[in-house]
Amino acid sequence: FAPDEALQRDGLHGAADVLMVPDPTSFRLLPWAPGTGWLLCDLHFADGRPVPLCSRRLYRRALERLGAAGYDFMAGLEVEFHIFKLADPRLAPGDAGQPGQPGAPPEVSLLTQGYQYLTEQRYDQFDPIFDILRRDLQQLGLPLRSLEVEFGPSQAEFTLSPGIGLAPADDMILFRSAVKQICRRHGYHATFMCRPKLPNAMSSGWHLHQSLRERAGGANAFVSRSDEPLSPVGRHYLAGLLAHARGATAFSTPTINGYKRYRPNSLAPDRAIWGVDNRGAMVRAVGRPGDAGTRLENRVGEPAANPYLYMAAQIHSGLDGMARRLDPGPSADAPYETAAPLLPTSLAEALAALRADDYLRDSMGAAFVDCYLRIKEAELQRFQLEVSDWEQREYFDLF
């Protein structure tokens, strides 16, 4: 509420009103809430100007830039998350919290034990809620492709078929919201937090499968016509993802918790490297010469990421690789040993990398990036003021 040049310039000073203009093409009826509709809106000021911080608009701008180069963006979603049985919602007045200070998290119990990946016995334990989710998500019109039991206890993975342009990002927004609402109504708690603070919990990732479709003819621009796994366009695009990987991580992994996932010799990356069908690399190239399904799977993201910002950063990074005809180097057979820039190990490091990436800052919008950095750094400051369980164990009795 005090004078602030940036907020005044952007029309947001004093908690000013904005208009939510509905996108009628996004309208859906909610199967789990009779008589209730859901739709997306774009943000504008009263005089019609678009709100500059609207992430859906920022993604549209990236798509328009890609379109001017002759391509459409195609993306498929592979999302890991956890589903627990809700034991105690923690709704006592003392648990309530207040704005800026979330209330006590719910108490939960597991649906499965152990790490029996894809076994039918574990699937049977998930099936009661899986069946409900499958029914409602399909009725909602989401392009649900598969659902499975993931590695960790109570961990699931759902995939959505690839879509073009805005659709995959909009689908991710609706998917997360729908899963959480459906689960809660049936006595479950779903979380897209990367690594819950529960014994034996596994980290969850969001792997973004992506390719470019030529506007002239509709062909997949990544399909190789030689012995290489990717076309020249695909290689340049891939090189751009690697070149801006450190700065773009602030959008693919925007939470403090998400950096607990990056570790060597796991199914998560720790450096900006690529490999042919290698799940230890940051970017996994999938396909072979002549394969119409050729694509890049970026394994860097966490499921809590804003899909509009995640995908926009991918497009801008790839376009830079294409414009400068960058080379990604050879495929890494040992992705945790090959020399390559390490991914940030903390949100603070990722924000510093974004601030240092002039190209990403200009592409995403300097005013937006400055505001984003300000918000995320305030989040870090709040975290650093908290006394952790580790500090209590380490120092309380010793000193």
**Section 153-165 average pLDDT:** 97
pLDDT of residue 7: 62
**Section 161-182 average pLDDT:** 97
Contact present, 198 and 191 (Cβ < 8 Å)? no
pLDDT of residue 13: 76
Per-residue tokens: 286: 């999938």
pLDDT at 390 > cutoff 80: yes
Buried residues in 134-167 as b, exposed as e (16+ CB within 10 A): eebbeebebbbeebbbbbbbbbbbbbbebbebbb
Contact present, 143 and 161 (Cβ < 8 Å)? yes
Q: Answer left, alpha or beta for residue 284, where phi above 0 means left and psi between -120 and 50 means alpha.
A: beta
**Alpha carbons 238 and 230: distance in angstroms, whole number:** 9
pLDDT of residue 102: 86
Residue 330 burial (CB count, 10 A):
10
Contact present, 36 and 148 (Cβ < 8 Å)? no
Rounded to 10 degrees, the C-alpha dihedral 353/356/357/362 comes to 130
Tell me, letter by letter, the H, E, C secondary structure of 274-290. Answer: EEECCCCCCEEEECCCC
pLDDT of residue 24: 95
Expressed in percent and rounded to 5, the helix, strand and coil fractions of the chain are 40, 20, 40
Residue % of the chain over a pLDDT of 70: 98
pLDDT at 36 > cutoff 70: yes
Tell me, letter by letter, the H, E, C secondary structure of 225-236. Answer: CCCCCCCHHHHH
pLDDT of residue 8: 63
Per-residue tokens: 58: 């920022």
Mutual angle of helices 166-185 and 55-68, in 10-degree steps: 150
Q: Is 38 helix (H, G, I), strand (E, B) or coil?
A: strand
pLDDT of residue 114: 76
Average pLDDT, the chain: 93
**Section 77-91 average pLDDT:** 96
Rounded to 10 degrees, the C-alpha dihedral 242/246/247/251 comes to 90
Hey, what amino acid is at 113? Q
pLDDT of residue 6: 64
pLDDT digits 0-9 by tens, 87-143 = 999 999 988 888 778 889 999 999 998 777 777 888 889 999 999 999 999 999 999
pLDDT at 5 > cutoff 80: no
* Residue 368: closest CA among 62, 71, 2: 62
* Residue 84: closest CA among 121, 118, 115, 109: 109
pLDDT at 10 > cutoff 70: no
Q: What is the bridge-based pairing of β-strands 283-286 and 295-301?
A: antiparallel
β-sheet bridge partners, residue 288? none
pLDDT digits 0-9 by tens, 12-24 = 777 778 899 999 9
The residue with tokens 């596994």 is 202
pLDDT at 9 > cutoff 70: no
pLDDT of residue 2: 74
CA atoms within 13 A on the CB side of 365: 18
pLDDT at 149 > cutoff 70: yes
Radius of gyration of the chain (CA): 22
Residue 386 burial (CB count, 10 A):
7
Q: What is the bridge-based pairing of β-strands 274-276 and 283-286?
A: parallel
pLDDT digits 0-9 by tens, 279-301 = 999 999 999 999 999 999 999 99
pLDDT of residue 117: 75
pLDDT digits 0-9 by tens, 229-240 = 999 999 999 999
